[in-house]
Chain A
Amino acid sequence: MTVQEIRSRFPALAQTVYGKPLVYLDNAATAQRPLAVLEKEFVLASKSNANIHRAVHKLAVDATEEYEKTRDAVRDFLGAGSREEIVFTSGATMSINLVATCFGEAFVGEGDEIIVSVAEHHSNIVPWQLLCRRKKAVLKVFEIDEFGGLMVDSLEKLISQRTKIIAISHISNVLGLVNPVREIVQIAHNHDIPVLVDGAQGSVHEKIDVREMDCDFYAFSGHKVYGATGTGVLYGKKKWLESMPPYMGGGEMIETVRFSGTTFAPVPGKFEAGTQNFNAVPTLQEALRLAREFQEDAEVIENQKNITEYLLTVMTSDPRIHLYGVPRGTAEKTPIFSFTVEGAHHEDLALILDKMGIAVRSGQMCAEPLMDRFGVTGMLRASFAPYNTLEEAEYFVKCLNKAIAMLV
């Protein structure tokens, strides 16, 4: 697939902002959606709009079928063993909250320990902090080195008899480095500790096989992999999902309801209380198909690699720029570039770039502990998707230089 072919599928990319062609480099926050996804949601809303799993009429049957077909598509995308291991949520945040709440309820008690890394998104920190507060448990922090690499060697020392779960991102939304999750899972499993992987970025950039990775939970958001907003997935090994209590009570998650006691539906239904996002969830079929195509297409891979190498060279050779997340050794870098510029505030840079048509993110990127780790108040982040061109990367660098010249 050529980049131009890809671009033609994403209507949002064709627009201009402030009279300049849009250069969308905030993909780590949310990706643009292809026409196929937009159309799917429209068709579902305008034709097959009926509540799923309940009624026997035609529309409800069609809607249910689309919804459940999506579960199979997600299973295939993740390489999961069975469709029962796929729970639909509103996004990665809800997926992680579900595990923190339900796994925590079943397995975490006073004095127990949970390990997260310092580079986590707030969504993979705060749910665990809430759990620790509820259960009087302890949150321990897995450190990174100055380049942003996880200090895997220190994990053994962090683990104790009381460690109940390790929660780690597949790829940090700031650093863009692929974490050695397979290795982490192995270390954890040697101690019988389950691992949750926050795949909000990993699901975009890496070809995932949860069975090969052997993680116990994998969470991701639909909107970052070109799907509709408000969709998300939690993969969980059956043995864990079955031993966890329900998250929310309500319709659809029950088997029988009596005032003398209620029994719950088998997984994954137990975790899908209330009316589901049935117009949006099926867009994951188109979205994940496309995401997988991107992950496998040689031309796309080549283009992403060129952009990554170009920006790595520019950013590591410019003394004014400090890049966070520099690949060392065999570590893989995805096209997520967070950096600071000597003497120029990230917000000023983002404002000026915006007026040049470039959408980037500035601030703490929902990773305040990581900002503190590097002693900065915020960073500027440019994150690329397969529809971004090398020319856009070059234009971004040109504009960045212009913005720096204005400010410094």
Chain B
Amino acid sequence: MPDQVGHDGRMTLEEKKQEVIEEFSMYEEWLDRYEYLIELGKALEPYPEEEKTEEKLIKGCQSRVWLDYEVKDGKLYFRADSDAIITKGIISLLISVYSGRTPAEIAADDFGFVDAIGLRENLSPTRANGLVSMIETIKAAAAEMAGQARHDNGENNVIPGSTRNLSKEVLTAEDVAALQPLYTDVILALKQVYDPEIPVNIYDLGLIYELNIDKERKVSIVMTFTAPNCPMADEVLHEVEESVKRVPGVTGCTIELTFEPVWDRSMLSEEARVDLGLDYEEDEYGKLS
């Protein structure tokens, strides 16, 4: 479940959404709703001209929309602009709801309130597409942020190829100590998932390349399969996610699939080798962190 505790005396995400729904329902006529959105748009905090770059432009909108974010204290803060004022009002509404929330909160949210206030169905399809693109961008920011949080402080936290300049999550010694039992539990959960072809669990097979838990207790996993064209891939990924999410204290789980490096038998754990009756000549076994 998402973290629902109020931050700095702010409303929780649920409270804020409810407030927006109530505010919107006061306007019966669509023209009045547009007036309201126009006001919100005009009041939106200015966005620096020099940051209206192609990279921050959201695709799929008839009007141009730029969206950017930064991370402070593990929370996402959005800022945006548009050359169309109603669109700007919609962004303002989204920002007022989602800015200052944790990646876990945003990732767990279904954005259903957009439907509740009739924005999606009452806008032209092209506009609705733009709205969907805006929501996707906010979700992607949350996912990216969650994926970058690492427990091994000191390592480079920026995902290669990412152009976003995110502040990395720094964990104190207390944080690490507090998270330690959770790591044990999550590894136990991973050991419940078996490879569909080899009678060894995915952890001991060495399929888990990275396992990180951030301060929000969101688990991110980088894993592989024994073969790139595994027909059971989706089922296994689903099983991993479900198994991890069931661990008490875990707030979310994202899994990234990779085939770099390609899995080979040297990645088997010693236990797995014994289970499989393999001799172990190599010195290097697993590559788990």
Contact = CB atoms under 8 A, between A and B. Distances in A.
Interface of A: 18, 344-345, 347-348, 350-352, 354-356, 362-363, 377-378, 406-407
Interface string B106-129: 000000000000000001101100
Given A347-B63, A363-B62, A355 B83 contact: no
Nearest to B126: A363
Contact of B64 (A18, A350, A356, A377): A377
Give the secondary structure class of B's interface. Answer: helix
A347 B86 contact: yes
Interface string B125-165: 01100000000000000000000000000000000000000
Contacts of B85: 344-345, 348, 407
The interface size bin for chain B is 10 to 19
A107 to B, nearest CB: 38
Interface of B: 30-31, 34-35, 38, 62-64, 83-87, 123-124, 126-127
A407 B82 CA distance: 14
A347 B87 contact: yes
A83 B87 CA distance: 51
Given A347-B62, A363-B126, A407-B38, A355 B84 contact: no
B132 to A, nearest CB: 16
A262 to B, nearest CB: 41
B144 to A, nearest CB: 28
B34 A347 contact: no
A351 B86 contact: yes
A25 B64 CA distance: 25
A348 B62 contact: no
Contacts of A347: 62-63, 84, 86-87, 127
A88 B261 CA distance: 56
A345 B84 contact: yes
Contacts of B84: 345, 347-348
8 contacts: A345-B84, A345-B85, A348-B38, A351-B123, A351-B127, A356-B31, A363-B62, A407-B85
Nearest to B122: A355
Contacts of B30: 18, 355
B34 A351 contact: yes
A348 B86 contact: yes
A345 B42 CA distance: 13
A351 B85 CA distance: 11
Nearest to B83: A345
Contacts of A344: 85
Contacts of A407: 38, 85
A345 B38 contact: no
Contacts of B31: 352, 355-356, 406
A345 B126 CA distance: 15
Contacts of B64: 377
